[in-house]
Structure 1
Amino acid sequence: CSVKGVVHSVKINRKMHFSKTKHSKFNESGQLSAFYLFSFGWGTSILMSENFLSNPVSLWDGYPHTLMPFQMKLYFISQMGYWLHTLPEIYFQKTKKEDIPRQLVYIALYLVHIAGAYILNLNRLALVLLVLHYFTELLFHVSRLVYFSNDKRQTGFTVWAVLFVLGRLLTLSLSVLTVGFGLSNADQQGLNLANGNFNVLSVRIAVLATICVTQAFMMWKFINFQLRRWREQAQPLKPKKPQAPKTKSKKDKANGVNGVSSNGADSPRAKKEKSS
């Protein structure tokens, strides 16, 4: 899936003649949009088949959710496998040094959240939040691909901005509802590694704190992105400052003053005055 996205983006890049920076971003959006589309569709089909959306209580009811359908288990394994495979890709794709820290940060965030939810048996909540997050990310990268083809088409960024903020609010609401209220009132309390039960206060606080910090970090990046876009849009609209009248330099004064040059020859202005 990722290989096809890269090949397709390279073909388009040859036609559009992008710079190196735009070439890198275009390839990144082409690969990630294909992955997000596939993951979003697959995750949505699991949610519909397991009736998680129609019955929100199932997100915490019956915890620990140690028994997962094969399709759901394969989904989480494939997600962790994809983000693990992006680590050597950073080297093989010869990513710029200044872009490496940014990519390492979001790869680490994906791995920590997906693997953490899988280990703590919070797979139902994680599946809902992943599908929600992948939808907003898909919209962003598709909007960026459209923007690179025509920089006047920025409607997608506006729609993405609204859905991004709503997605962060919905993520926090579902997390607090499931971990803060649902699991705290569940029948099975206490730490039991054999049964996969991690329903203790310290673990619940750690999970909520991790989710809140991640959402705050994403909002901070989002605000910086919006400010940078607004500055870029406002820059060509700034009125040009009127230029100050040029003053005569010392060389000009030496060559001619009041129409008479220093070598005694008359300037065009002096000749005109004599003829009149």
Structure 2
Amino acid sequence: MMNFTQRLSGYLYPFIFLSSPTTTPTNPDSFPTSQYYRTDTKDLCLVISIIAVYAILRDVLRLGVFEPFARWKLFRDLTRKQHAGKSNGNASVSSSGNGHSSTRITLVKAERRKMRHSVLRFAEQGWSVVYYTLQWGFGLYVHRNLPTKLLDPVDSWIGYPHVALAAPVKIYYLTQLAFYLHQMLILNAEARRNDHVQMMTHHVITVFLMWASYYYNLTRIGCLVMLLMDLCDIFLPLAKMLRYLNLPKIYPDFTFGTFMVTWFVTRHVLFPVAIKSVIFDLPRLVPFDWDPERGYYSTKGSHAMFYCCLLALEAIQMVWFAMIVRVAWRVVTGQGATDVRSDEEGDDDNDSDDENDKEE
């Protein structure tokens, strides 16, 4: 029985804890007091567990926090509105059998459908705000402890290969990889949007780059890119949440403007700087050598693969930015930050709802 328990715990260990601990490098340039690890195929076991945790957390927050709050807030607003307009027939008064009068708010079908849609969308975006806020904060912590710079990522290549990973770096990578795999599952499980192909292409490329940079020991530039990508993804779902709550237009519009600025700076200014470093600094500072035993996975082919994938991501993001500018034009012209991307099976009253609902 004891042997069975030990064997079982051995099988479960990689699903719960980081695998492949290793000795701390001599004079490490980052996280000097952290435990260090190597990459391992067993890391996929922990990724599977993290995906399961994400699925549970998403539903707990969606069903236990965000949906009840949105339902309470929207129903309260609708009740107040209908009480104020009782004279036009939107509310009716009925008497109970004991002689007490009670007000029964009658929700017309369109209002009920719109409120249900807003509640569901609010809850979906709430999970994104929570995740991206926490993950960006964690990514900033990792970045501040690595010798990399946003405007000059050349330090990402110095000392290659970075075989030993500090625990925070490994956790950061695996949690990000698990999140995008989880997003791919959600993307295919829910109603398809008009840009489904773009989203799937983006997620597939992103997951591939995460996996390749992780196992090819290029994690420092990977951490930098992930930090850049996450910041603006806080503000887009937040802007949508404010709009779903029917708050004054100034709040979602201002948040959307913040999203637009952070998107442009991080994805069309700083991200191209990182791509430029991959194209020009990597071959200059990292020798092309395929020697897995020493941790070298740099060849002309792998180099071209990485920068082509990064350029493909930038191309997709430029298409999305054009859509963002179109929404911004609506704000400038007083129409508000209303999206035009829709579910293929969406409700009639919401056909102009979600152009930029990207979980990227």
TM-score bucket (shorter structure): 0.7 to 0.9
Corresponding residue to 1:101 among 196, 205, 224: 196
Choose the corresponding residue for 1:115, options 211, 220, 238.
211
Please tell me whether residue 42 in structure 1 is matched to residue 138 in structure 2: yes
Q: 2:289, 2:298 within 8 Å by CA — same for their partners in 1?
A: yes
**Distance between the aligned counterparts of 2:235 and 2:275, measured in 1?**
23
Distance 1:121 1:35 in 2: 26
Residue 179 of structure 2 is aligned to residue 82 of structure 1: yes
The structure having more radius of gyration, on CA atoms, is 1
Per the alignment, residue 147 of structure 1 pairs with 243
Q: CA deviation at 1:187?
A: 5.3
Secondary structure of the 1:129 match is helix
Q: Taking every aligned residue pair, what percent have the same amino acid on both sides? A: 16
**Which residue of 46, 60, 69 corresponds with 1:12?**
69
Bigger helix fraction? 1
CA deviation vs aligned residue, 1:68-115 (integer Å, no higher than 9, x gap): 112211221122223323444457xx6224479365444434322321
User: Does residue 282 of structure 2 align to residue 186 of structure 1?
Assistant: no
Q: Check if 1:2 corresponds to 2:58.
A: yes
Query: How far does residue 47 in structure 1 lie from its aligned partner after superposition?
Result: 1.6
Q: Structure 1 residue aligned with 2:260, among 161, 168, 193?
A: 161
Query: Deviation string for 1:176-212 (max 9, x for gaps)?
Result: 12x2222211253222233332322222222111111
CA deviations on 1:128-179 (whole Å, 9 max, x unpaired) are 11111111111222222223221512111112112211112211112212x2
Preserved contact between residue 257 and residue 328 of structure 2 (Cα < 8 Å): no
Residues 106 and 32 (structure 1 numbering): CA distance in 2 closer, same or farther, change over 3 Å? farther
C-alpha distance in 2 between matches for 1:194 and 1:151: 60
Pairing of 1:258-269 with structure 2 (within 5 A):
none
1:217 matched residue in structure 2: 316
Residue of 271, 291, 294 corresponding to 1:195: 294
**Residue 22 of structure 1: aligned partner:** 118
**1:63·1:188 contact (CA, 8 Å) conserved in 2?**
no
The whole-number CA distance in structure 1 between the counterparts of 2:142 and 2:216 is 20
Pair 1:19–1:108, CA change in 2 (3 A): farther
Distance between the aligned counterparts of 1:120 and 1:187, measured in 2? Answer: 12
Gap change, CA 1:108 and 1:88, over 3 Å in 2: same
Give distance in 1, aligned partners of 2:206 and 2:314.
Answer: 13
Aligned mates of 1:232, 1:47 — CA distance in 2: 34
Q: Helix, strand or coil for the counterpart of 2:294?
A: coil
Q: 1:4 to 1:62 in 2, by over 3 A?
A: same
Q: Does 1:176 align with 2:176?
A: no
Three-state SS of the structure 2 residue aligned to 1:96 is coil
Which residues of structure 1 form unaligned runs of 5+? 238-276
Tell me the C-alpha RMSD between the 2 structures: 2.9
Deviation of residue 235 (structure 1)?
8.3
Q: TM-score if structure 1 supplies the norm length?
A: 0.73
Q: C-alpha separation between the residues in 1 aligned to 2:117 and 2:209?
A: 30
**Counterpart in 2 of 1:125?**
221
SS at match of 2:165: coil
Give the letter aligned to residue 101 of structure 1.
H
1:63 Cα offset (Å): 1.3
- Partners of 1:125 and 1:135 lie apart in 2 by 16
Question: Contact conserved, 2:209 with 2:306, CA < 8 A, in 1?
Answer: no
- Supply the distance in 1 between the matched residues of 2:258 and 2:184 (Cα, whole angstroms): 31
The Cα of 1:30 is off from its aligned counterpart by 0.6
Mapped to 2, the partners of 1:236 and 1:57 lie a distance apart of 44
CA contact (8 A) 2:58 2:127 kept: yes
Q: What TM-score, normalized by structure 2, do the two folds share? A: 0.57
Taking the aligned partners of 2:307 and 2:185, their CA distance within structure 1 comes to 31
- Paired letter, 1:213: A
Q: Residue 233 of structure 1: CA displacement?
A: 7.0
Taking the aligned partners of 1:236 and 1:174, their CA distance within structure 2 comes to 36
Over 4 Å off, 4+ runs: 87-91, 231-237
Counterpart of 2:306, as a letter, is V
